[in-house]
Structure 1
Amino acid sequence: MSLHLNKSYLLLLSTCVAAIAVFLNYPPPPLSDTLKKWKQSGKMFNFQNNNIFYHDYGNENNEDVLVCIHGFPTSSFDFIKILPDLQNIFGRVIVADMLGFGFSDKPKVHNYTVFEQADIITYLLKSLSINKVNILAHDLGDTIAQEILARFEDGEKDRILLQSVTLLNGGILPETNFPKIIQKLLLNKYLSPVLMRLTNYVIFKQSFSDVFGENTKPSEEELADFWSANIWNDGYLVTADLLQYINQRHANRDRWVHVLQNTTVPLHLIYGPSDPINGPETFLKRFRKLVPNCSVDVLNTSISHYPHWEDPKNVSKHFKNFIKPILLSNK
């Protein structure tokens, strides 16, 4: 009798969770005109039976190429505010949604890894006949850039030749990266199936807004765009799988930090100091000590984890000051 009741309670609980999930996540929000235009103007390429969304701006014969690699939980749309400036600096700019993000495919049963995301960037560049590139990366994109840099320094056969790497706020040093509570909970294999299905716009908006500066938070319309791209094609169902990059950072810490310390490629960091995930007293102090060969620009104290969205003008200015001499020296 007791066993029968327990099964009944479990069935009832499962039904309630499923019903709440449907209520919270259905119907999916419509794309704004801005996001529709972004999606319609992009392209797709196939990587191991998965479609990857990207934009390719500029002249395909130009040798000054930049690839932008976005972070979690957003997409290449993050770079839209600085794209005009980037296009004025480079003859060609590539931005792509990583697998599981934005308008790229989001396979539900998949082992998402930093290594595969690096494979995707490399494959895309090779398919576009690009063998030499500069990188601008943010958040998870920083880690992907570190892996691409490690492959370059290892002299791998299919490596991409790197002219420079510029990093924005991210978990570059795993020991000074402090994920949000919701991210830690989603890494729990027992809680994540329920939490992913209970995620809604209100929860996303609160959690996501917290990583922006007090006076630089996205507008309601911008937050809706971030959410729409995130939830596209049931993206909320792969959140926990994508977050495995946090564990991968710790497991591969020596490889990814060591390469920053020893690379011959010019490195630059543009940093928002109000970042609650990578604070200045922990991250910046240690980074400067461990990676003294990397030049650093620190933005206004009001700027936080998304500097290219919060302060696009100054991010573009600092990036241009760093990259112009490098591009000129490669002529």
Structure 2
Amino acid sequence: MYNLGVFQTIAIDDIVYSTNILRNPRQSLDQLAVSIMQRGLIHPVVVRPKNNEYRYELIAGYRRFEACKRLGMQKIICHIVDVDDKEAYEISITENVQQQTMSPIEEAIAFKRYIETFGWGGVSDLARKIGKSQEYVSKRIKLLSLPESLQKDIAQGKINVSTAEELFPLSNTEIAENLGDYILENNLSAKEARRVVKVFKENFKDLDVSLDKSNNELEFLLPRQLTEEYIDDNNSSSANQSELLFRVANPLLKRCALGIRLSLRNIDDIIGDIEDDRASSTLDSFWITKELLMQHRIRLHEQLDQLLRQASKLKNLQKLQAL
């Protein structure tokens, strides 16, 4: 990508950081500093001339540069290239990907900036530049659609990427987060995670819990069914299956129940308001409105009862399996 340019020793004080450089401060510089002290700087850092200044901007080699500074070096060998902002970012991202100095989440953020923030090209363009497949780039970016807690676990290496990718089919953030916790605690493989996700897609495909910001009301649909046959896995015990179901489904059922209770409270408030304004309303409009509200109230109570029965059944199943 940048085979042209010149190699030259430059004073460290004459090198400044690029605003777009991909840094990785979480990795220790100790071993790298020892290696440079013993063997010298094998791979020069990459810089470009600053416009209208007798200084240089660091493009790639942040950790090597920091290690040399730590060693008290006054000068450093540099590969000087004349490139624009887009090319400079491509150099930086390519080196970091090839040397695997970034976490998967850091890669995802860098890829997304290239494509969406800067608008320098699409997935295929970036994939070609960094020598990776389009699928690799797309899946990395899709990691950013997972809950933040899962992204943190991925960045810290607690959950590997292939396992985390199995959660992509889950559109419900809360389910994905709870399943992620279960996968982490039980050290599930990607294959096992895929099986678990498949089960929940099949058994909870009608469950959708979301907060409608326009009216600040909780919208919900009840789960299609709760049965004892959730996981077809000969290697998993019934107790583990029950634990998984209780872990993921119970918070959702509670959240749905809360939404219903809030709706009931709102209906009661509205009924109280129209009764206060009864004198200013026609007799027919008052009773029609109140009757409609009461019918909605009855249906909500029926849904709440069904939810509580589902939750009770799930809790009893967990107790039985624990015996």
Structure 1 length-normalised TM: 0.22
Larger radius of gyration: 2
Structure 2 length-normalised TM: 0.23
The structure in which a higher percent of residues are helix is 2
